[in-house]
Structures are given as structure tokens and as C-alpha cells.
Amino acid sequence: MLMIHSISAECGALKQRGMTLIEVLVTLLLISVGLLGVAALQLSTLKNNQEAYVRSQASVLAGDILDRIRANANAFRDGEYTVAWNGEGSGDTTTAGRDLTAWQAAIDATLPGGAGDAAGRIERNGNIVTITIRWAERTTQQLAKDAPDEDATSLPTFETRSEI
């Protein structure tokens, strides 16, 4: 009698088990790219949160000086609160001067850029006051170092208007 071997039994012994090195490397590459994407997303989120925080701080500082102006409306009508960038009005001799000095110091201490780039300006047009606050973010500070002739118009600003 002839013995017939089953072809399917021999092929079953040749079946591949496990993963090849190429498959492992491709999987590792895909996972690495995915993790890099997650890290980039996290970095972007942190940057946006920092920008939002600084903008909210500028809003609080604008509200602070606006409250001080409302409390001393006569001095506002006399023009004592109208100042250019980093202006301190009449210094410590009046309430308005003390308010402006304290406000500019708070801007310098709170917002990025320090005394050089972080500044506030108050303009008066009749009974309308416009408060503008600017600051330098890290990328802006680096650009300023690279191109020192640039003016401060490219700095981020917060502006609010109110009637007194």
C-alpha cells in the first residue's frame, strides 16, 4: 500500500508564527509619529493657554485703572489721567499720579516684557477714555533682538473704551 501524505499537513508546519522584524519596526515608527503629534499638540495647547492668561491679566489691569479713573472722575476731566506709553502723569503729587505710577508698576510686574515693552497708555476724547496695554511675548522679544529697529506696533495689545 502506498502512503499518501497529506499536502495540507506539511503546509501547516510551514505557517509563520509571530511577527517579523520589519513589522515590528513599522509599528514602532507609527507609534513614534503618533507620540510626536501628541507632544506637538500639548505644546501648542500650553502656548495658547499662556497667551490667554496674559490677555486676561491685561484685561484685569485695564479694569483696575478704569475703576481708579471712575473714583477720581474730576481729575480725569482735568486730563490728569491722560498719559503716553509708560507715562506716570504728575508723579506722586496727586491721586491720579499715584494711581498711574502704581498701574504702570503693576503692568511691568505682571506682563511679559518688563519695563521696556510692557506699557500702558490712556487717551481721553471728551468723556470717552481709551486704555491700551501692550506687552512682549517670548517670540516677540526674540524678534526684537533679531531686528532692533522694529517699532512697538507689532506687540500684542489689549484695548478697552469706556465712558466716564
Confidence category of residue 153, pLDDT binned at 50, 70, 90: low
pLDDT above 80 (res 12): no
**Inter-residue contact 60 to 160 (CB < 8 Å):** no
* pLDDT tens sequence across 92-139: 778 888 899 899 989 988 888 877 788 889 999 988 999 999 998 865
User: Hey, what long-range contacts does 115-119 have (CB within 8 A, 24 or more apart)?
Assistant: 115/86, 117/141, 117/144, 117/152, 117/155, 119/85, 119/86
pTM of the complete model: 0.67
What Å distances lie between residue 57 and 9, 35, 38, 39, 81, CA to CA? 76, 33, 29, 27, 21
Confidence category of residue 3, pLDDT binned at 50, 70, 90: low
* pLDDT tens sequence across 139-150: 554 555 555 544
CB burial class (10 A; 0-12, 13-18, 19+) of residue 133?
A: buried
Residue length, the chain?
164
